[in-house]
Structure 1
């Protein structure tokens, strides 16, 4: 796990982050169940291209502080914008996976002047998703994680649910046991797991203001050809939410394609920086 860890105050919370390199800022946001270490392969590659590559631990994910309230979509978007400022930049390239993708979609919609390029992984624009039996089954955790006691159930037997989730969302990948070490360490910190489940407790079926706003920033979306939930057709349908350049890249792998096929993923992603 390379890189230097730092801390900044942003949007009323202390955020931890890992950084490598110097130059224009590239801010990389992770999803669930994951941490900033999801970018440990891509981050140094970006730094080698002459960028300052920074991957924060998102709100509530240790060692970032535990907030006092569950975050809504607008809070996550404003976290991203506040992090750009706190890191001393006027703008950034944004890369987001899963919840990180939702956050950077919102940030680009709210303040396109702060975002030089947008890159999202595995998540089409949320405002364009159409329900289907496949999607409802794949996203059934959205409802389960709202229930009382969900965090405690998830933590049972040293987070035995983690490998099952990865297998379900990336069915063509067989990760080693070590792939989950960083997540287990993060989630074992007091208060973290409940804060993480707060994203789901606060999630509304109605799109927030930033999710209703079309994005003008040049955008690259990366879809996994083996993703059991988000299909390439979902990303094509999402084009209506973008008024600027909108490029779809399809790579092998499921929801965690950037970890499943790191070399191929990096080649595609770096080609758009």
Structure 2
């Protein structure tokens, strides 16, 4: 049951988008690839553009390449975009056993320090929202603002007995990474967990990294939610997908109800949990608007 406080929340902004026609091709952008090393860890970073920095963290077991169109649009909007690859993807490597969300956040901290650009805006999509919030908590000096895209808050409304993600949905989230399964079964999982009705899930049949998926899953299961929940004191854009079944509408007010005016809610139409391949322009527009505001302060 929603609490009295949640019933009185302001209505979220809704960003209109359409999938009726194919998106126009995104002009090729120059993307550099560098390595950031510390201790026994090496992180590959894709970078492009000039201007205020936006760091983008991908979903569970997936690469920053999912953001190709979003990053290109942000570059055209005058931002410098960094996409660190998680350990186990590309040339990123380091210990993979018994990691915590703090460990993944430390990887991003080293990337931001290497950039020498002061506090930045960090975008965390789906699982990536956990290290984004953890970075803002552990290293508030490095974070100007946080975008949580298609993010599970990690908690449910007060009084609810549900889990943030139930066992059936967890199976659908994890299923596509099992590349040994028949393609149609994996498409069934993708439709259920990641894509809005009418959007083509085939774009995510590839791009899964099982070792990274398992390391990130362990970190999620073994890091207390309260370690990262509040994202320090940074301003937050809670960028929600209208058709997100993983972070469903009934939980859409959790972050704002608990963190108050620090949280701005924007809803993308015709998007599911995957978001980036479904609505890259609308996603980039919402991130750019938020980033301009926090950089102007």
- Per the normalisation by structure 2, the TM-score is 0.75
Partners of 2:146 and 2:52 lie apart in 1 by: 14
TM-fit CA distance, 1:209: 5.4
| Aligned partner of 2:171 among 126, 136, 141 | 141
Post-superposition offset of 1:249? 0.5
Judging changes above 3 Å, is the alpha-carbon distance between structure 1 residues 162 and 57 closer, same or farther for their aligned structure 2 residues? farther
| Aligned counterparts of 1:244 and 1:12: Cα–Cα separation in 2 | 40
Aligned to 1:156: 180
Calculate the TM-score normalised by the size of structure 1: 0.80
Equivalents in 1 of 2:167, 2:87: separation in Å? 27
Cα drift, residue 254 of structure 1: 0.8
Report the equivalent of 1:219: 236
Q: Does 2:128 match 1:104?
A: no
Question: Would the aligned equivalents of 1:27 and 1:94 in 2 still touch at CA under 8 Å?
Answer: yes
Residues 46 and 53, structure 1, Cα contact 8 Å, conserved in 2: yes
- Does 1 or 2 have the higher relative contact order (CA < 8 Å, sep 6+)? 2
Task: Give the deviation of 1:134 after TM superposition.
Answer: 8.7
Distance 1:212 1:162, change over 3 A: same
Q: Judging changes above 3 Å, is the alpha-carbon distance between structure 1 residues 90 and 28 closer, same or farther for their aligned structure 2 residues?
A: same
What's the counterpart of residue 211 of structure 2?
194
**Cα offset, 1:256, TM superposition:** 1.0
Return the alpha-carbon distance in structure 2 between the equivalents of residues 264 and 68 of structure 1. Answer: 34
**2:281 is the counterpart of 1:263:** yes
Deviation at 1:121, TM superposition (A): 0.6
**1:172 and 2:170 equivalent?**
no
SS class of match (2:283): helix
Match of 1:42 in 2: 70
Structure 1 stretch displaced more, 59-68 or 255-264: 59-68
Any gaps of 5 or more consecutive residues in structure 2?
A: 1-27, 292-297
The structure 2 residue matched to 1:132, chosen from 162, 170, 177, is: 162
- Which residue does 2:256 correspond to in 1? 239
Q: Structure 1 residue 18 and structure 2 residue 43: aligned?
A: no
Q: What are the superposed Cα offsets for residues 178-231 of structure 1, whole Å, 9 maximum, x if unpaired? A: 5544x05xx3xxxxx224312223433662552255631111011111111312
| Other-structure match for 1:190 | none
When the two chains are superposed, the root-mean-square deviation of aligned CA atoms in Å is 3.1
Specify the structure having the higher radius of gyration (Cα).
2
Q: What SS does structure 2 have at the residue aligned with 1:140?
A: helix
For 1:85 and 1:161, the matched residues in 2 are separated by 42
CA contact (8 A) 2:133 2:229 kept: no
User: Which ranges in structure 1 are unaligned for 5 or more consecutive residues?
Assistant: 188-192
Three-state SS of the structure 2 residue aligned to 1:227 is coil
